[in-house]
Structure 1
Amino acid sequence: MTDETRDWISVGHIDDLPEGRVKTVTARTTSICLVHFDGQWAAMNNHCPHQRGPLGEGSIEKGVDDKCWIRCPWHGWDFDPLTGKPPGGHEDSGQDMYPVEIREGEIFVGIAPEPPHERTVTDVMVETLSNWGVQSVFGMVGHSNLGLSDAIRLAVGDGKMTYFGIRHEGAAAFAASAYGKLTGTPAACLTIAGPGATNLLTGLWDAKVDRAPVLALTGQVQTQVMGPGAFQDIDLLSAFQAVTSFSQPVLGSSNHAELAALACKTAIVEQNVAHLIFPDDVQTNPSDQPASAPEGRVTAAPVIPAQSEIDKAAAMIKSARRPIIIVGHGAYPMRDDIASLAEQMGMPVLTTFKAKGLLPDSHRCAGGVLGRSGTPIASWFMNEADLIIALGTSFSNHTGIERSKEIIQVDHERMQLGKFHPVALPIWGDVGAFCEAIARADCQNPGADDQISELADRWDIWRREKQQRLQEDLGKGIHSFAIFEALGRLVPDNTIFAVDVGNNTYSFGRYLETKGSQRVLMSGYLGSIGFGLPAAMGAWAATQDKAALKGCKVVSISGDGGFGQYPMEFTTAVKYGMNITHILLHNGELGKISKEQRSGEWPVWETDLQNPGFAAFARLCGGHGVKVTDPADIEAAIREALDHDGPALVEIMTDADLV
């Protein structure tokens, strides 16, 4: 190769490297050991042939022969600083050398023109993931996933994927879980082997128990050292077995496109976690396999309730004086059908916490959230009901559906029907199909109570009581109702709320009144602290990917304990310009746990927190941050944060006892 045919790449200035020193530089993607020795400049392959140690991180040292050598920092192998040859080396041994030119003090290294990209195993698999609709990837690039990361980089460059580099892999899993809960389609989370992979597990369990599709893509050590206990070598197949519905290693002999397709199909069809393990050495193997696509491999699966079951349900409804509807998160896609049926039949609609907002509180049939985080309105109608129509709800013990009542339960998953206790009429079918069938049936009871008028009265009573609670002031901080009353008024009708756990969550469920098409994301069955901010990142990514969510505002809510789990993800939000407003209730303790200790007649112990100024922290991260200590300032602070184009945090000093 002649100098004319090389690409000459600038790698720095002569002032960057003193005499007698070496340095690692990169020319395009080629790692080079740059040498300044004996008044001369040299450039050689940066990788020691022993174990690819970085020569540019070594030093020039005098050997026993009084000759100076570059010494590899890993295991002490020596090389001539100007020729790259080892001691006693032959003419054809030693490091590859690159020509160097100094041009007006700038150092240029001549390397071969970049060859065409050779298609790899991970190219095939990433293209398959993209074909199956995977658009967003949350993760951390590391030494055992570099080949896979490069395939994702190319997909990002082609506009087929978006990548978000997080600060902790646990946040990646929570973000992907929230994305799946919101859209019903999977995002991916990327990690290295060992600790990177195990850091995913909490977020993946959140996805599993809340039935959210997620793809976990984990690096792995090279196949030849798997098993004996190499650095960061753990049995990932066993580690992920309980939390995944599909988990497979990617081997050199695998059908790579098919593995990726089955992972996607499992996540989508089963609404569960799928996992692919990528050994380091397999990732860059050449491959000429075509990518897979979903055409001809998935289908809609409507479940139409049996007419005999519809007839039984209609008869039960017709004989009831006070029937109510309780909806769970699984019924969200059928929200219009549920609202139409409730209006036609004059039935109150109560929601589980996960389904908060499915029927907005502004709707005349809405009764709010039922259960520990709910409203007295919902509790009252539950107590007075003589028939419960449960749609897409899993009967969590926190929801408190009264099992002694007569219950019609509808779900498209047969295992959910009567799962925890018998019900009067379990119906296997889609909630939307059930609502349409009941709407056509003769089931109106002319003697039924006017519950809709009662709903309006009960809302008036509750709203008056909430205003009275504002008068409570123990001198230790702001009442949470003041926060959620203002937030509910100020946020847009299409807001997506990502809610953490703790006192803040209970207050949100109880006090904030939803409107429009608002959605709520939470760590439901797992109830994991730290969910709020990473979930908001996942929700924001979904608003960029999905046409139906374009323009939705994302608001996350946490206490100081929850935010403290993944605070550095605020820098992730800043880096990618995520338009997230975070409402942080700062009371200086794990308030919910303090309450549980007192309730259980335990001493309050080790629930206090040592916190920074979170608003100042947000500003240091490059975002918007404001601190509120006076209730009169809440509205202006929230309004300013909502208007900010980018991540914003409102830190509100609250009283842990006023929830």
Structure 2
Amino acid sequence: MQDKKIIWHKVLLNKKDLPEGRVKTVTADHKGICLTHYEGKFSALDNRCPHQGGPLGEGSIENGMLRCPWHGWDYHPCTGNSPGGFDDGVDTFPIKEEGDAIYVGLEEEPAHQPTVSDIMVETMVNWGVTKVFGMVGHSNLGFADAMRRQENKGNLNFYGIRHEGAASFAASAYGKLTGKPAACFSIAGPGATNMYTGLWDAKVDRAPILALTGQVKTQVVGTGNFQEVDLVQGFNTVAEFNQRVQSDSQHAELMSLAIKHAILKRDVSHLTFPDEVQEQYAKTGAKVKTPEKRITSLEIAPPIAAVNDAVSLIKKSKRPVIVMGHGAREHKKAVVEFAESLNAAVVTTFKGKGLIADGHTLGGGVLGRSGTPIASWFMNEADLLIVFGASFSNHTGITPKKPIIQIDFDPLALSKFHKVEVAVWGEISRTLAIFNSELKGHINTEDQGPEIAARWKIWKAEKAKRLLERSDKGISSIAVFETMNKHTPEDAVMCVDVGNNAYSFGRYFEPKNQDFLMSGYLGSIGFALPAAIGAWAAVGDSRPVIAVAGDGGLCQYLAEITTLVKYNMPIKLIVLNNDELGKISKEQRAGEFDVWKTSLSNPNFADFARSCGAWGKRVEKQEDLETAMKELFRQPKAGVLEVITDVNLI
């Protein structure tokens, strides 16, 4: 039999780097080596102790023996033999010295044999899940290695974040923006549980998302092993699809089903991978899957009776008002064209902000607590509300006192909280095509355009008065967003946090052609910065990405500024710093409680950004705001503009 080829690997540049009597860990190809220097001789031992896999290169030579750092077992530093004749020594490898360098000889590494992880990752990529946010660790290394191979082929992008919660928020934002799932990735135990909040954010806002978690080895599940959490049980409430991958699973099919559920249900899918299954060789003949002929068209036509009832109401209406929610995002052009045919005002929910520009002749701004008086005025003056893709949350405040036609693709969303006059189950664009056909020549509505212009004039005069309010404590939020109205790129993707900064943003920022992402139903503080990471992964450098946060929200995931720098994400972050959880203080006063524990101690965020390698500037005077804002948007790299604001000027 022919001997296998020996490949020599340089593992030490200079022998002086390993003094007599010392050991160190080196790597040759993929092999971990314990390199020793004892009695004038260099030797190479397998780095894994045969008992628990302890790293011998982190041990020490004591009394002429190499001692394992984990449990103290001894090996000869040159031969790898155990004392006393025990049959648990470690393998050794040939050494050669050339000049000052040390080389270790290993048999040529065999070609990679596909693993279960390879089959599942390639299937994932085929289904279009090519963006992954997460953290590599000891219980997910096999799956991570399979993703590495796909990234090396240019098929996948992996973004290593600083906290798994940021990973799930980033993937949630990606799903909200694109309608397609990205993946978040973690180790077992605490890594997986850290993702929980972002997964709930995706779930309640109906964003598709794929959660991938490592798990301890199957043989120790249920024994209280280190970092063991029953992840299938733990994710039951948040995941629509929730499975542990097993040795005998149909691996490509399991990944296909997970992604199919995420897409069609617009929900969370979770797969957890026991450590040993990740590295298991794929079955002979195992094939990857694709989505070809696995996804049905979602162009659902509404029932005829519902169409007839809706058309009848619209024909009678003189002052219809259209309400657009986040669920109408993919159909905003069709909805606006429908509004133009009716000459009807269009208002949006906060999550739907920007689906029609405030400058459009029929645009009435945001409805509800984060909205404008324009939107609420038109709702109150309407004789019919036509609602597309909205969920009727308390925050939005769509009145049940007006006749309502509700159109949604989800039958459970129809009449969810109260009865509506006409509930229309159907895909929005398909439904509108039918409406337009039935209504042709039968529209008798008033032109609301002149009234909209008049109401905007009143509101802008009010904003101008508020802009005159000044304070020694800081700049007003109104001034911040009025400056943003002038200088924010019109095609930006904007990610908004929660709190007073979000309320002021909803009320004062006037969208043009921007997209907006927020933690809608969950209302989770800290969303903005990791969401911007997800948005950038979706659009790259084709569009500007901007995050707007308060000081309380930013500190939740402040370290992710280093992620922006690492991956050259030119995201712009505007932070309103008032040293307070201002929204909570406001709620305490409204509830007639004492204001308690809402003050904050903050870093200088601009200095922190610069320490991470980003651009940073702090603004304390209103007259400096416009110049600083222009400078921020000119930056070619990540930037943080910190604005010192007065918590009372919102």
Q: Work out the CA distance in 1 between the residues paired with 2:359 and 2:522.
A: 29
Q: Do the aligned partners of 1:329 and 1:355 also contact (CA within 8 Å) in 2? A: yes
Q: Deviations over 1:595-621 (max 9, x none)?
A: 111111111100011111000000000
Taking the aligned partners of 1:8 and 1:27, their CA distance within structure 2 comes to 6
Residue number in structure 1 paired with 2:301 = 304
What secondary structure is seen at the aligned counterpart in 2 of 1:566? helix
Q: Which residue of 2 aligns with 1:442?
A: 439
**Could you say which residue in structure 2 is the equivalent of 1:427?**
424
User: Aligned ranges for residues 234-249 of structure 1 at < 5 Å?
Assistant: 234-249=229-244
* 1:632 positional shift: 1.8
SS of the aligned residue for 1:164 comes to: strand
- Number of residue equivalences: 647
Question: 3-state SS of the aligned residue for 1:539?
Answer: helix
Q: Distance in 1 between matches of 2:470 and 2:595?
A: 22
Are 1:485 and 2:482 an aligned pair?
A: yes
Answer yes or no: is the 8 Å Cα contact 2:210–2:268 preserved in 1.
yes
Alpha-carbon distance in 1 for matches of 2:440, 2:413: 26
Report sequence identity in percent: 53
Quote how far apart the aligned CAs of 1:323 are.
Answer: 0.9
Structure 1 residue 640: Cα displacement: 1.7
> What do residues 295-339 of structure 1 show as CA deviations (whole Å, max 9, x unaligned)?
111121211123333232222122222210001000111111111
The answer to whether the Cα contact below 8 Å between 2:95 and 2:103 also exists between their aligned partners in 1 is yes
Letter aligned with residue 206 of structure 1? D
**Is the contact made by 1:627 and 1:652 (CA closer than 8 Å) also made in structure 2?**
yes
C-alpha contact 2:484 2:509 (8 A) present in aligned 1:
yes
- SS of the equivalent of 1:441 reads helix
Q: One-letter code of the match for 1:9?
A: K
Confirm whether residue 523 of structure 1 aligns to residue 524 of structure 2.
Answer: no
Q: Which moved more, 1:32-41 or 1:558-567?
A: 32-41
Deviation, structure 1 residue 343: 1.1
Moved more, 519-528 or 25-34: 25-34
Matched with 1:11 is 12
1:552-602 Cα offsets, whole Å, 9 max, x none, are: 111001000000000001101110001200010000010100111111111
Corresponding residue number in structure 2 for 1:166 = 161
Q: Which residue of 2 aligns with 1:537?
A: 533
The two structures have a TM-score, normalised by structure 2, of 0.97
Q: Match for 2:623 among 620, 625, 632? A: 632
Q: Which amino acid aligns with 1:302?
A: E
Q: CA deviation at 1:195?
A: 0.4
Q: How does 1:86-165 map to 2 (within 5 A)?
A: 86-89=82-85, 94-165=89-160
DSSP-derived class of the 1:102 partner: strand
**Which residue does 1:272 correspond to in 2?**
267
- Match of residue 203, structure 1, among 183, 198, 205: 198
Distance 1:18 1:392 in 2: 70
Q: Measure how far apart 1:449 and its partner are.
A: 3.6
Secondary structure of 2:535's partner? helix
Cα offset for 1:2?
Answer: 7.8
Aligned to 1:370: 367
Match of 2:76 among 69, 80, 102: 80
Paired position in structure 2 for 1:593 = 584
CA distance in 2, matches of 1:535, 1:481: 24
Separation (CA, whole Å) in 2 of partners of 1:444 and 1:623: 58
Q: Are the aligned partners of 2:133 and 2:170 in contact in 1 as well (CA < 8 Å)?
A: yes
In structure 1, what is the equivalent of residue 348 of structure 2?
A: 351
The alignment status of 1:324 with 2:315, answered yes or no, reads no
- 2:358 counterpart of 1:361: yes
Structure 2 residue aligned with 1:547: none
Spell out, residue by residue over 1:391-439, the C-alpha distance to the aligned partner (whole angstroms, 9 max, x if none): 1111011000001111111111111110100001111112212222222
2:561 to 563, 567, 570: 570
Partner SS for 1:88: helix
What CA RMSD, in Å, does the superposition of the two structures yield over aligned residues? 1.5
* Structure 1 residue 33: Cα displacement: 0.7
In structure 2, distance between residues paired with 1:397 and 1:93: 68
TM-score, with structure 1 as normaliser: 0.96
How far apart, in 2, do the equivalents of 1:218 and 1:573 lie? 24
Shift of residue 637, structure 1, vs aligned partner:
1.5
The answer to whether the 8 A contact 1:345-1:444 is kept is no
Distance 1:446 1:439, change over 3 A: closer
Unpaired runs of 5+ residues, structure 2, are none
2:5–2:107 Cα contact (<8 Å) kept: no
1:256 equivalent to 2:251? Answer yes
Q: What code does the residue aligned with 2:14 have?
A: H
1:33 paired residue number: 34
CA distance in 2, matches of 1:15, 1:253: 51
Contact kept? 1:124, 1:290, Cα under 8 Å: yes
The farther-off stretch of 459-468 and 12-21 is 12-21
Question: Which position in structure 1 is the counterpart of 2:287?
Answer: 290
SS state at 1:258 partner: helix
Verify the 8 A CA contact 1:320 1:445 in the aligned structure 2. no
Counterpart of 1:630 in structure 2: which amino acid? Answer: K
Amino acid corresponding to residue 533 of structure 2 in structure 1: M
- Per the TM alignment, residue 16 of structure 1 is displaced from its structure 2 partner at its CA by 2.0
